[in-house]
Amino acid sequence: MHSHHSHSGSYVSHATDTLDEIVDKAIELHFQTYCLTEHMPRYKDEDLYPEEIEKRFTYKCLVEQFDQFYKHAKVIKETRNIDPQCDTRFLIGFETEGGLGDYQLDQCLKLRLTYPVDLIVGSIHHLDSIPIDIDRANWLKAKDATTSNGSIRDFYFLYFKTQQLMIQKLRPEVIGHFDLIRFYNEDGDQLFQWPEVVALIEENIDLINSYDGLIELNSAAIRKGWPSPYPKSDVINFIFSRGGKFCFSDDAHSVGQVGLNYMKMLEFVEQSTEIDKIWYYDLSNTDKLIQKSIPVSRLRDHVFWNSG
């Protein structure tokens, strides 16, 4: 069992519980690998989230916070990964803040040079610097600001084009919540009836495959009200048909969300998709990032399901 995407209240203002508590819970649940991936800093004060503004943060606070996170995570990795009593291997990463322009992507590349993490989760949280995953009001604001007539088709096209630019520049090992743009669309969508959007998605999948990246099945969508993880089954099966590879993520923001809804996610994979194998990252004996896989048919054998 594994997760490639997690957060804690120690270093993210919209999360709760400490990083050490998140780590302890992952160990308790017998995760085989668990990646610590706090958000990378946003480098402009105007990009701060409401809860950060309430704390009177500046972007410099986020930069300092990330430095503290990396040092903390490094200690966790160096101590827990050699502890014979701990059967969970911890990886260090961070989640990108896509949709804030080229400057943010450039800063991501610099951040990776400064902090040698094991992997990054490539996610789009903004369009034209407007957040799209805080609430529906901001999602609508972004849609109206970025399209000439409020077109969902144009809005989706911009999202996947922004995702493409992020993939091209950063080559993230994991792609986070691939179709997040669909979450606040209360009217549903006809994504696969829009050829230009489908073509972009196809290009993005091929780009990810070109460097052997993984696309996460993110169980956070289930706790937020979807019947499935991100992405939806139509996108999942399209990715699978083009040779895409999937991993699991819980996108936890608290102890109670570590491994949350994994059984629902597994049942969804078994019943609603053609996926036959799940991939995950691990570390070699020389601390190099490696990929491994497990057949879906064997996932239920893991001790994870009987722990916690």
- Predicted local distance difference test score (pLDDT) of residue 148: 87
With a cut of 70, which residues of the chain have pLDDT below it?
308
Query: How does pLDDT run across 3-46, given as a tens digit for each residue?
Result: 999 999 999 999 999 999 999 999 999 999 999 999 999 999 99
- Predicted local distance difference test score (pLDDT) of residue 187: 84
- For residue 235, give the nearest of 275, 280, 293, 265 by alpha carbon: 275
- Predicted local distance difference test score (pLDDT) of residue 20: 98
Query: How does pLDDT run across 125-150, given as a tens digit for each residue?
Result: 999 999 999 999 999 999 999 998 88
List domains and CATH numbers for the chain: 2-306 (3.20.20.140)
- Predicted local distance difference test score (pLDDT) of residue 308: 60
- For residue 131, give the nearest of 14, 231, 246, 233 by alpha carbon: 14
Q: Collapse the DSSP code of 3 into the 3-class scheme (helix H, G, I; strand E, B; otherwise coil) and give the result.
A: strand
- Predicted local distance difference test score (pLDDT) of residue 109: 97
Q: What is the DSSP string of 111-155?
A: HHHHS--SEEEE-B-EETTEESSS-HHHHHHHHHHH-SS--HHHH
Classify residue 212 as exposed, middle or buried by CB count within 10 Å of its CB (0-12, 13-18, 19+): exposed
